[in-house]
Structure 1
């Protein structure tokens, strides 16, 4: 017979599975501090010994870390995605920049297409709320804030696609982008015309998602990242031209 004895699950295992699911779904993020033991046990309706048992097991699994005097935090599980040597290699070769953009174009196009079909109404509200913050930030002309919101906007789309493998992979990629490994995004937001174009492109992506139009959402993402690629090519060329101009000036001044 295919039947087995039914065994009641320990409370600590219920706690463990819930926290694992929150990490897996990207709701609890790397570096995020968990509530205090008292608050967490009350929220989850379990005793402190059961909670401690679950937290201890999650630490043994490498999903949580305890810091003396600070609390329990979600481990930096993204940090191991790329070795320091590979990150250094990315940072010193322009070809990696354009491969990165190409990769984003493919992955985010797919994510936008999925989000238009599978996102909940709340997912779409989150994306729209971030876009409205982008509109406000543009008026303040704060390149750093605009760049940060740009990353939040794209990650919200990936979250709304509800593919957990893609979510963690792309979060890892965005951490490298935030650290300036591939290129300095803030530079792009310092130019008025570029900033206007970028906002219009994000508006097109948001409009397509809110309309739940998968093809339009995918096309809007592709158009946006094609523009980013072209802007970076122009930036690299301008930097090269400026280098030669300085050498020419030094040569003329020394004659």
Structure 2
């Protein structure tokens, strides 16, 4: 029987650099706050060109693992960080624009994430995050005529509820999912005939959510947050043109 050959995977040089850095992170040799060696030294150690190294570092910077400071001095160079929230939101937003995911996918992801987070928050009890959410609620009450400010505070409020769950990954994913459609939701809010009335209703839901979480009524809070998301976000999704990727 003839031997079956299959093509092997060809990696570009910068992908090999990424794999090498990933191995260092997984092994604990690199951690948040650590500074990478100077570019010339690191390229030589890895046996790659400086252009390949730079391409790999740009990828890591884009996904929020690395921050690079140009120039000279103690702050210059590339440093490992742990700030994925904005980066994940940016990646999701680009994939949404490309049609990789539909708005319906985002809606369902929000429902799953936020149901679980408010239930967990109700079990966890009051934290500093809960108190900050109360402050945001008060600020939103004074911003009902300003759709852009309300949208910003609303996003922060839902992310804080996710943080109240005590699960940082759920909080990060919630922030990324919400950030991926924030501009689209803001456009929808601006185009409403009676935005202040809608804002008041959304804020009434927020106040009741906090009350239920504070009372430890996780099941009721989960039902309310789903109705809340499907009420406005769901109507927004259904009003959009059909997703060409579907």
TM-score range, shorter chain: 0.5 to 0.7
Among 136, 143, 149, the alignment partner of 2:142 is 136
Structure 1 unaligned regions, length at least 5: 1-15, 21-53, 238-255
Which residue of 2 is the match for residue 187 of structure 1? 188
Which residue of 1 is the match for residue 67 of structure 2? 65
Distance 1:135 1:94, change over 3 A: farther
Among 115, 125, 131, the alignment partner of 2:131 is 125
- Deviation at residue 223 of structure 1 after TM alignment: 1.2
Which string of whole-angstrom CA distances, capped at 9 and with x for unpartnered residues, describes residues 123-150 of structure 1? 3211111111111111xx1110000001
Could you tell me the TM-score, scaled by structure 1's length? 0.58
Which residue of 2 is the match for residue 38 of structure 1? none
Distance 1:58 1:109, change over 3 A: farther
Distance 1:81 1:134, change over 3 A: closer
Matches within 5 A, 1:75-224: 77-78=84-85, 81=88, 87-91=93-97, 96-138=102-144, 141-178=145-182, 180=183, 183-188=184-189, 190=192, 191-224=195-228
Could you tell me the TM-score, scaled by structure 2's length? 0.60
Residue pair 2:93, 2:179 contacting (<8 A) in 1 also: no
Which residue of 2 is the match for residue 46 of structure 1? none
Which residue of 2 is the match for residue 246 of structure 1? none
Structure 2 unaligned regions, length at least 5: 1-27, 43-56, 242-246
> Which secondary structure does the structure 2 equivalent of 1:65 belong to?
strand
Distance 1:83 1:176, change over 3 A: closer
Aligned length: 182
Which string of whole-angstrom CA distances, capped at 9 and with x for unpartnered residues, describes residues 9-47 of structure 1? xxxxxxx9xx85xxxxxxxxxxxxxxxxxxxxxxxxxxx
- Deviation at residue 233 of structure 1 after TM alignment: 4.9
- Deviation at residue 188 of structure 1 after TM alignment: 2.0
> Which secondary structure does the structure 1 equivalent of 2:84 belong to?
coil
Which string of whole-angstrom CA distances, capped at 9 and with x for unpartnered residues, describes residues 197-222 of structure 1? 21111122122122222112111101
- Deviation at residue 162 of structure 1 after TM alignment: 1.0
Residue pair 2:124, 2:166 contacting (<8 A) in 1 also: yes
CA RMSD of aligned residues (A): 3.7
Which residue of 2 is the match for residue 8 of structure 1? none
Distance 1:199 1:91, change over 3 A: same
